[in-house]
Amino acid sequence: MKTEDVPQDLKYFKDRVIRDLMYAVDESGRYTPVLSDGWSVKNDALNVVWDDIREQCEAIRRQVLSGEASPLAYHMKKALQDVSMLSSYSGVPKRKIRKHLKYGEFMKSDEATLQKYADALRITVDELKRIDEWK
């Protein structure tokens, strides 16, 4: 691909600092780094993945509403975190996180632990306790 042909599809990167780094052939025939604002093919693949994650989040949301899972499970899925990652980011032991994935146990959580979860998930404690529909 030549440098002038590097895709610039702004669907996901519009008004963001994030950009893709791609390599393309310059006028001299050498590979050179070129910033891209996105690529429609990559965006289409991302849409499929995000649609799947939204479906999984909706299933977990229904479990939370029925008391089968905690809001923590929903927010972990939405943030693409598993127990190991959340433990690493929050400093909360994996065993305790697994316990808090149960609705009743989560509701007994102390404020300090909830704050650790919220910080690791980059949301507020109030948002952590809620499970608003994903827009």
Question: Across the strands, what pairs with 34?
Answer: 22
Model pLDDT for residues 58-94, shown as the tens digit of each residue? 999 999 999 999 999 999 999 999 999 999 999 999 9
DSSP secondary structure string for all residues of 57-83: HHHHHHHHHTTSS-HHHHHHHHTT--H
What span, in angstroms and rounded, lies between the C-alpha atoms of 43 and 111? 39
DSSP state of 37: S
pTM for this one?
Answer: 0.72
